[in-house]
């Protein structure tokens, strides 16, 4: 068997074009452009790349964006004051605080301070509570992207066995809840799960959100399973690239050019051989995260305008 590749770039582009239409609608009907404010602190190169991509996506879709770069020496109090200011601004729809924050800052306190209606990352406890209760709210972007790629690839979820490896608050747990709400029978596995391969082989839908290059291998994948690889890991050793991408000249050339290449948490050879469908890395779940961030920003703006119209009438 050779797995069908689930094209996240294509699905992401589809979502973005829908978001662009919603932006145009807000503009035409209400003369309003949604606004996302991104707070970037420090010089973490990965954070800088992510923020650049987010701002670029905003520009492409007609969403206004502001990038704030307070000094790396900022205190928790100063950052809380900045968040309070953005919460109060009526022209700001989404507030995104790029993580990680400097060590001296209490990250949990800062994330808790974001107005839940502007929490486009879906990290605030109010939005987490809405997710648990299956109430409308802002969903975390990567987990929402996992659901979108399944839905838009016509992969049925209801009644299926889903196994999620990873229980983080930002990926594993929310993916599990979203699949549960879609009527999957859900198992969450983690580093203390005995006989992980046997647990994974129960899955019709296997989601890997671990942070370990190519850890999910042949012994974990039931033939015919749908495998969703959330992992993003950078390979810097040529031997590793040859191990995960044997005979893949394009990948090797990419590695030679950049000095590194990406692999997910799933061994791509095992997934291609055993799975019925598989999200590649890059080009699988990755592009959906930013698409869902754009969607959340516009949803926050739509909700606010709708409330204003209702209150005004
Ligand atoms: P975390 O480190 O927060 O969580 C990792 C989870 O994997 C933990 O629950 C941990 O278990 C589990 N785990 C670690 N080792 C093992 C093991 N040997 N066997 C079983 N379970 C294990 O990572 P995140 O959830 O933040 O991210 C997961 C991956 O997804 C990363 O590669 C990250 O880069 C990627 N990612 C991709 C995004 C995208 O846009 N595509 C966005 C966010 C993340 P325990 O709880 O027991 O320690």
Tens-digit pLDDT profile for residues 166-215? 999 999 999 999 999 999 999 999 999 999 999 999 999 999 999 999 99
d(Cα 54, Cα 175) in Å, to the nearest integer? 22
Report, as residue numbers or ranges, the catalytic residues.
54, 98, 121
What pLDDT sits at residue 1?
Answer: 66
Domain ranges (residues) in the chain: 31-116, 141-285
What pLDDT sits at residue 259?
Answer: 96
Candidate of 148, 171, 267 to mutate for ligand 1, largest count of ligand atoms within 8 Å of Cβ = 171
Candidate of 190, 213, 217, 289 to mutate for ligand 1, largest count of ligand atoms within 8 Å of Cβ = 190
Structure tokens at 243: 């191990």
Predicted TM-score (pTM) of this structure = 0.96
d(Cα 70, Cα 151) in Å, to the nearest integer? 39
Q: Which residues contact 208 (CB under 8 A, 6 or more apart)?
A: 165, 166, 215, 216, 227, 228, 229, 230, 231, 264, 265, 266
Q: Do residues 138 and 116 lie in contact, with contact meaning Cβ atoms separated by under 8 Å?
A: yes
Which CATH topology does 31-116 take? Rossmann fold (3.40.50)
CA distances from 301 to 31, 57, 93 (A): 12, 17, 5
Homologous superfamily (CATH) of 141-285 is NAD(P)-binding Rossmann-like Domain (3.40.50.720)
Cα of 143 vs centre of ligand 1, distance in Å, is 13
Confidence of residue 270 (pLDDT cuts 50, 70, 90): very high
The residue whose C-alpha atom lies closest to atom 42 belonging to ligand 1 is 142
Distance in angstroms between the alpha carbons of the first and the last residue of the chain: 59
Q: Do domains 31-116 and 141-285 have the same CATH topology?
A: yes
Structure tokens at 230: 């959330």
């Amino acid at each position: 068997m050779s797995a069908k590749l689930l094209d996240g770039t294509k699905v992401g582009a589809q979502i973005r074009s829908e978001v662009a239409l919603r932006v145009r609608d807000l503009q035409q009907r209400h003369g309003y452009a949604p606004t996302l404010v991104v707070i970037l602190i420090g010089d973490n190169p990965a954070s800088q790349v992510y923020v650049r991509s987010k701002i670029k996506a905003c520009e492409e879709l007609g969403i206004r964006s502001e990038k704030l770069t307070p000094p790396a020496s900022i205190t928790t109090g100063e950052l809380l004051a900045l968040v309070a200011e953005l919460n109060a601004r009526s022209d700001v729809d989404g507030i995104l605080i790029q993580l990680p924050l400097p060590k001296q800052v209490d990250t949990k306190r800062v994330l808790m301070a974001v107005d839940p209606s502007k929490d486009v990352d879906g990290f605030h406890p109010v939005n987490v509570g809405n997710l648990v209760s299956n109430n409308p709210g802002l969903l975390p972007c990567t987990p929402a992207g996992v659901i979108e790629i399944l839905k838009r690839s016509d992969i049925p979820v209801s009644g299926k066995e889903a196994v999620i490896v990873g229980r983080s608050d930002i990926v594993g747990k929310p993916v599990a809840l979203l699949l549960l709400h879609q009527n999957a029978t859900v198992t969450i596995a983690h580093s203390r799960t005995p006989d992980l391969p046997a647990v994974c082989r129960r899955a019709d839908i296997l989601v890997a959100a671990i942070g370990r290059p190519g850890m999910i291998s042949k012994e974990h994948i039931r033939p015919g399973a749908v495998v969703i690889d959330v992992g993003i890991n950078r390979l810097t050793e040529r031997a590793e690239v040859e191990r995960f991408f044997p005979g893949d000249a394009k990948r090797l050339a990419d590695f030679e050019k950049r000095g590194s290449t990406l692999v997910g948490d799933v061994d791509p050879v095992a997934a291609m051989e055993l799975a019925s469908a598989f999200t590649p890395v890059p080009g699988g779940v990755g592009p959906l995260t930013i698409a869902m961030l754009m969607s959340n920003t516009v949803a926050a703006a739509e909700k606010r305008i709708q409330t204003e119209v209702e209150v005004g009438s």
